[in-house]
Structure 1
């Protein structure tokens, strides 16, 4: 909402500076987002009147003008050479005299007017256009001023260019602040300054005629008012004062009738519409649309409507999109002679969301979907009528009586305020008189009562323009606004505050972030709502949790995996020529779970665990001179998972995951429970995302990662350990984990401390070599043996090795390699 300060002060003029006024509105809940001047700084520009304009002797497009600038010219006419096409005798224009400083041009430097010559003729100044003064983008000619503008007056004072533009950032519940009068009403309540409410006189009627209107949908339109006005001059020019105010509200002038309608909208917050009466066929119907109907709007778009969109139609076609935009079929033009002025109350629920269906928004829709006072339709038509008569009226103009149909206005049930509760919520002593004073200043009718417990209560009836007063908290907010948030005491909390001790057996989320950063990953933060296709493809989730009102079509479901977000971030970086990407995210996922009940932190049927996921792409360690480039693979990601879980030791079991390569992925198991997956991206998704190579990813339950067992001190053996190497032949499907498990279950496993794999040998395809056949592999193991009780004898070592071999042969069919 943008408006000039001067217009606001016509309704309410407190003894405050511009900044103090802005601060008052902001602290009253009407945040002033920006203050700006109407025009940039410039000096030395006065009102001049062209007394003479003759062609330049040596230039066809130049004129030599004699300009009266009053006292600025010391009583003499200034000779100024001008090339504007509208430079003519009798008009008053801005004149920059010698020494004037104009706003900066394209080079950013102020432009100073000097005495000069144009084609040999002296020029003592410059006649200015609106664009040269940075008042508008109009380059068509000189800025013509009203004929009654005093000659010699400073142009800043003449056009009120030192006026300040207020830009308010209003929350959706402050519909009553979407007009200059509405803001002034709030300012009067906040400051106690009297509010000036101009009387809207009833225009005498001279025509006995009404346009038949049938309101067929009371749930769409609660009140419909309109009147006929005949024999107007639609070619009249919009007055300069009205155009200036509209421009300072951010609205361009369109035509005189449209400008009048827009002016009253900014003045009182009432959108209205003016129809060309001669283009209406028969009567009007206010109803819901019908499937298959179409309407050409004033913006040139043709839309299809259905039974969820309100329309105004005549007997042949649709004429208007109710409460949003008029139609081209009955648009006013310079040829318009007879008009129908309409002002209605459109129910907010019937307007909300309709503009977004057609990908546009309007000032009218913006107001109606928040709520417009239904009680003043007749008064606002009278205001529009008077402006039409003043600006477009002719001796033949006739005005008909207003046809006002009231069907179903919104109910305003009383809202009860408990004075004691208001004091508790606001945090300071508040009496019944304080609340009553606030309501009186805001114009809220109330009754004083005592409830069944003997407590003071005030029962407030919201006025028609306040759609935001529905519950007790709304009234408490109004009381706090009027008292002033700056008046609230700074009271320290009474409850004792003690720091929560972090359990020693759990690490924090920040520690996990730091650990991943130490491993070379960078954190990314993404939305929790994602594309539905990601859920189906990357998580195998055919029934994701869908949003009722997604902000975008590609953000329609809640994610059950973090992998899609990481892949999107990878794609974003690769599109910008990144060659190595390592990302991680700690985030919440959303899973269907009927066992979850609604609490302060949960929603029924939705499980919301935290997970940590990471992605590695490109060279494993970054390009260096010490080694050749090697792309990150499954084992790099596996090593990072092990580092993340340390000192816990997880096992990795071959498994399939919808997002991962079937032969290069594994589930991560900790204490017998699957806590996540690790692997290379599935080739299908790599091709779909157009990735030059496959990234490796992992995703873990955060609770598992946060576990950190308390270290226990153990005695170090005083006896030297012994190393022995074994090479065993096993089937290709046997894993190291199975070998380690078999050895750990052998008869002398207490003597074997660790088992390490240091080599794998496979013969060439279709051949047998070194005692290893096709479909087999040789795994070289290094066993570390030792005891805390005594040094191991050779017999003990041999017994332990034989027991290990026996266990491997029994459980895995392994044999010692020849």
Structure 2
């Protein structure tokens, strides 16, 4: 909401500076987002009249003007503007004047000089040179009655400030200059100028037939006919200036009048060309398939969820949002119908967004516009039309179908004091509410308020408490230190923080992403195998309608977004919450009944293993790269992996991650079906783990470094294809080596192209390197041989292995 300070002070003029007024409004909940001067600083620029204009003797595009600037003698000024002519009044910068600063920030000084050999004693100014607008087509022409010699700042009221307010949706009553003045009066005690709406003299008794067929759409519809108007009349300059300072450009006189009253009193209205209306008007819900060409040129299709105003032939207007082109006033209009209505807020809310535009009228109606002032505001509009465009007014037609009933709201003084956090008396509360113009009755410790028709936001006790708090003043709230003990929460040594997990993944080359917790329902079905996700009652977008049960869909979207922008290598992770149905969960301060909300960490990698470099050939990531990242993330804890199935992962390249005998997540390659569906050149590899398990870590245990040299021995055994790496390592570690086995690693896997050479069908060769050592003495050959034989024996007994010849 933008408006000039001078207009506000016409209704309420407190003894406050501009900055103090802005602070008062902000502290009362009407946040002043910006203060901006109407015009930049400049000096010695006055109203002047061109008395003579002749061609410059040495330049085709310049004229030599004799200008009366109230200085006693005419000034000789050279000007190149195309509209410089005798008789017009324009701004004149006198010698010594300072024009607004340019791009370098320095003011432009006007001096007496010569232009092509002719002395120029000043400068005639355009609106752009004064930084009043971007119009640079010629000189700024002033009204014919502008007093010659008067300072241009005083004449155009340029020593004014534009207020820009950032209003919350509950402050619909402050979406007008008068509404804000009403707030200022309550906050400061300055008198409020009450507007007068004298009845217009009626010349006609005829009415336009109007029927309200949808009382749940429109509660009140007021209107009148005005005949013989001059639609080509010029809008007065004072109205043009005020509209411009509210951010609204001048269109035509009738449109400007409608907009002016909207900014003045918050009343959107519409003016129809009476002669273009077929029969009467019907206020109703739309019908499927009906179309309407709007004033903005768009043609929209309505349905039974959108309110319309229709005549006997077609739809003529979108109710409470925008008028139609068919009945718009034009230069040929002679007779008009002025309409002001009360539209139920819930019947207007969200309708304009269906058509991808918004209007000032819709913005106000969906928040609530006073239903009790339609007739008075039409009287104001009518009087402006008669004053500016002439004409003769018809009788007022006011139809009331269904108005909101004012439900009393009770304020308990003790409750208000408790919520606000400061001692309050009943007298203080009553005074605050009366200053706001709220009718109330007092009881024993209670105040009962019947909200006026313009206050749609007063519905419950907390609304009145807020009014009391902001009238008493938020800056009056006492500073109360907390009384609860403050105890430091120390994390157990066996647990690391979520930030440590983030740093670990960043060290592995991953970049963190943060995504919405609500996702597409298709992702849940395809990537999480969740046929019944938790649905949102009011999604912010149709494609974000359910809560996620997996982080993989969000990461896949991030991957696709980057690949579409030619990224070659993507490594991303997210640490976030998922939402699972669980009937055992009960409502608490941190939980919601029926919903389990664990934290998970997930990562996805695509492209090359390493960034481009000269020392290694380019190699794409595979399952084992992601598995290695998971192992590094969990270290020093050691996880095991077993083949598994996951809806998002390749059936043969997916593993379940097991830590301390408990499954904590999955790692694998994207399923070929989804790789094809998302049009990916290569399959990304991903993992998703329970965060609680990842946060666990072993408490460091220190032991001395071995004083004796370790011994390494390699063994190769033949086993069946079904034997896994995990089974092999488990058997090796279980061998009775009397503590001499310090480490084992698989370093070779061999599968022959065809059976032979001592290897049977379906067999493979696994080569393991054993590390042996003792803390007591150097190992002897006998000890080494005994330990190796113990490992081999264990492999034979447990896995049916045999030594490879």
What's the TM-score, normalizing by structure 2?
0.94
Q: Deviations over 1:67-108 (max 9, x none)?
A: 11003xxx1112223343433322211122233332345676
**Corresponding residue for residue 227 of structure 1:** 224
Give 1:573 shift: 4.6
**Corresponding residue for residue 816 of structure 1:** 803
CA distance in 2, matches of 1:130, 1:448: 58
**Corresponding residue for residue 577 of structure 2:** 588
**Corresponding residue for residue 19 of structure 1:** 19
**Corresponding residue for residue 211 of structure 2:** 214
SS at match of 2:153: helix
More moved, 701-710 vs 465-474 = 701-710
In the alignment, is residue 760 of structure 1 matched against residue 754 of structure 2? no
Does the Cα contact within 8 Å between 2:386 and 2:392 map onto a contact in 1? no
**Corresponding residue for residue 28 of structure 2:** 28
Give 1:717 shift: 9.0
SS at match of 2:202: coil
CA distance in 1, matches of 2:232, 2:504: 74
SS at match of 1:188: helix
More moved, 737-746 vs 340-349 = 737-746
Q: Deviations over 1:638-681 (max 9, x none)?
A: 22222222232211112233333333332111233221112233
CA distance in 2, matches of 1:813, 1:755: 22
Does the Cα contact within 8 Å between 1:755 and 1:781 map onto a contact in 2? no
Match of 2:666 among 670, 677, 682: 677
**Corresponding residue for residue 178 of structure 1:** 175
Give 1:128 shift: 1.9
Spell out the pairing of 1:377-416 with structure 2 (5 A cutoff): 377-393=374-390, 397-416=391-410
Does the Cα contact within 8 Å between 1:46 and 1:94 map onto a contact in 2? yes
In the alignment, is residue 161 of structure 1 matched against residue 155 of structure 2? no
Does the Cα contact within 8 Å between 1:762 and 1:772 map onto a contact in 2? no
What's the TM-score, normalizing by structure 1?
0.92
Check 1:578–1:99 CA distance in 2 against 1; reply closer, same or farther (3 A cut).
farther
CA distance in 1, matches of 2:621, 2:696: 27
Q: Deviations over 1:128-180 (max 9, x none)?
A: 22222221222333222122221111211211112100000001111011000
**Corresponding residue for residue 81 of structure 2:** 84
Q: Deviations over 1:210-233 (max 9, x none)?
A: 111100111101111111111111
CA distance in 1, matches of 2:138, 2:556: 57
Check 1:140–1:711 CA distance in 2 against 1; reply closer, same or farther (3 A cut).
closer
Give 1:630 shift: 4.4
In the alignment, is residue 429 of structure 1 matched against residue 418 of structure 2? no
SS at match of 1:329: coil
Give 1:472 shift: 1.1
**Corresponding residue for residue 442 of structure 1:** 436
Match of 2:714 among 719, 725, 730: 725
Does the Cα contact within 8 Å between 1:12 and 1:193 map onto a contact in 2? yes
Spell out the pairing of 1:767-806 with structure 2 (5 A cutoff): 768-769=756-757, 771-773=758-760, 775-784=762-771, 801-802=788-789, 804-806=791-793
Does the Cα contact within 8 Å between 1:757 and 1:779 map onto a contact in 2? no
SS at match of 1:264: helix
In the alignment, is residue 249 of structure 1 matched against residue 246 of structure 2? yes
**Corresponding residue for residue 3 of structure 2:** 3
Match of 2:603 among 599, 608, 614: 614
CA distance in 1, matches of 2:684, 2:406: 60
Match of 1:665 among 654, 676, 685: 654
Give 1:691 shift: 5.0
Give 1:118 shift: 4.8
Give 1:751 shift: 4.9
Give 1:117 shift: 4.6
SS at match of 1:225: strand
**Corresponding residue for residue 122 of structure 2:** 125
Does the Cα contact within 8 Å between 1:762 and 1:776 map onto a contact in 2? no
In the alignment, is residue 358 of structure 1 matched against residue 355 of structure 2? yes
Does the Cα contact within 8 Å between 1:743 and 1:749 map onto a contact in 2? no
**Corresponding residue for residue 102 of structure 1:** 99
Calculate the aligned-residue CA RMSD, in Å. 2.7
Give 1:522 shift: 3.1
CA distance in 1, matches of 2:169, 2:642: 54
Does the Cα contact within 8 Å between 1:520 and 1:582 map onto a contact in 2? yes
Check 1:536–1:43 CA distance in 2 against 1; reply closer, same or farther (3 A cut).
farther
In the alignment, is residue 463 of structure 1 matched against residue 452 of structure 2? yes
CA distance in 1, matches of 2:312, 2:510: 68
For structure 2, the 5+ residue unaligned runs are: none
**Corresponding residue for residue 45 of structure 2:** 45
**Corresponding residue for residue 702 of structure 1:** 691
CA distance in 2, matches of 1:768, 1:546: 60
More moved, 796-805 vs 411-420 = 796-805
Spell out the pairing of 1:499-578 with structure 2 (5 A cutoff): 499-574=488-563
Does the Cα contact within 8 Å between 2:81 and 2:138 map onto a contact in 1? yes
Give 1:458 shift: 0.9
Check 1:114–1:603 CA distance in 2 against 1; reply closer, same or farther (3 A cut).
same
Check 1:666–1:607 CA distance in 2 against 1; reply closer, same or farther (3 A cut).
same
Give 1:209 shift: 1.2
Does the Cα contact within 8 Å between 2:745 and 2:770 map onto a contact in 1? no
**Corresponding residue for residue 453 of structure 1:** none
Check 1:742–1:468 CA distance in 2 against 1; reply closer, same or farther (3 A cut).
same
Does the Cα contact within 8 Å between 2:750 and 2:766 map onto a contact in 1? no
Does the Cα contact within 8 Å between 1:319 and 1:327 map onto a contact in 2? yes
Does the Cα contact within 8 Å between 1:313 and 1:319 map onto a contact in 2? yes
CA distance in 2, matches of 1:341, 1:649: 80
Does the Cα contact within 8 Å between 2:707 and 2:775 map onto a contact in 1? yes
Match of 1:316 among 296, 313, 316: 313
**Corresponding residue for residue 600 of structure 1:** 589
Does the Cα contact within 8 Å between 2:282 and 2:310 map onto a contact in 1? yes
Give 1:338 shift: 0.8
CA distance in 2, matches of 1:377, 1:208: 19
Does the Cα contact within 8 Å between 2:743 and 2:772 map onto a contact in 1? no
CA distance in 1, matches of 2:604, 2:653: 15
SS at match of 1:728: strand
CA distance in 2, matches of 1:574, 1:213: 59
In the alignment, is residue 370 of structure 1 matched against residue 367 of structure 2? yes
Check 1:570–1:43 CA distance in 2 against 1; reply closer, same or farther (3 A cut).
farther
**Corresponding residue for residue 639 of structure 2:** 650
Give 1:749 shift: 6.7
More moved, 225-234 vs 35-44 = 35-44
Match of 1:635 among 620, 624, 627: 624
Check 1:116–1:569 CA distance in 2 against 1; reply closer, same or farther (3 A cut).
farther
Match of 2:462 among 470, 473, 477: 473
Give 1:685 shift: 4.3
In the alignment of these two chains, the number of paired residues is: 805
Q: Deviations over 1:369-415 (max 9, x none)?
A: 0001110001100000110111111xxx3211211111211122111
Give 1:13 shift: 0.8
Does the Cα contact within 8 Å between 1:351 and 1:368 map onto a contact in 2? yes
Give 1:184 shift: 0.7
SS at match of 1:653: strand
Give 1:686 shift: 4.5
CA distance in 2, matches of 1:95, 1:545: 70
Check 1:724–1:181 CA distance in 2 against 1; reply closer, same or farther (3 A cut).
same
**Corresponding residue for residue 488 of structure 1:** 477
CA distance in 2, matches of 1:547, 1:141: 58
Give 1:766 shift: 3.5
CA distance in 2, matches of 1:774, 1:112: 99
